[in-house]
């Protein structure tokens, strides 16, 4: 089990989709400004992975495969997985089961028990 505290900052990445979800959560929260500041701090201290044609192609391949197998998940999560696969990165998530049907993905759960 890893931890973000134990990883060098230049080795931590976030998908622009995940960053967008964090901003959404901040804007709808009661402590909006505090949470916006936290998201902005995070965004300025880690690398954000944007969209590329390669990620788009991997997204299409993953989604088609999931639908064929009846394992549908949200498009946003497929984009996050495609970004991790395309960039040869591990996807850190507390929801391993949600992503485990995606071929070629490396998953890690850093949640402390």
pLDDT for res 24:
98
The secondary structure element, H or E, covering residue 15 is strand 13-15
Torsion of Cα atoms, 78 then 96 then 42 then 32, to 10°: 90
| pLDDT, one tens digit for every residue, the chain (113 residues) | 455 556 666 678 999 999 999 999 999 999 999 999 999 999 998 999 999 999 999 999 999 999 999 999 999 999 999 999 999 999 999 888 889 999 999 999 877 65
Is there a contact between 79 and 99 (Cβ–Cβ < 8 Å)?
no
> Which CATH number applies to 52-107?
3.40.50.1010
**So where are the chain's domains?**
8-50, 52-107
Per the DSSP assignment, residues forming a β-bridge with 15 are: 49
Please name the residues in contact with 15: beta carbons below 8 A apart, sequence gap of 6 or more.
48, 49, 79, 80, 83, 84
Closest CA to 74 of 8, 11, 20: 20
pLDDT for res 11:
73
């Amino acid at each position: 089990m890893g931890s973000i505290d134990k990883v060098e900052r230049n080795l931590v990445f976030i998908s622009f989709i995940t960053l967008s979800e964090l901003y959404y959560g901040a804007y709808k929260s009661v402590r909006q400004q505090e949470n916006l500041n936290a998201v902005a701090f995070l965004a300025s201290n880690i690398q954000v992975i944007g969209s590329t044609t390669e990620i788009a192609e991997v997204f299409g391949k993953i989604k088609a495969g999931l639908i064929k197998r009846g394992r549908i998940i949200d498009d946003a999560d497929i984009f996050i997985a495609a970004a991790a696969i395309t960039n040869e990165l591990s996807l850190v998530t507390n929801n391993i089961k949600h992503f485990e049907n995606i071929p070629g993905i490396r998953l890690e759960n850093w949640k402390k028990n």
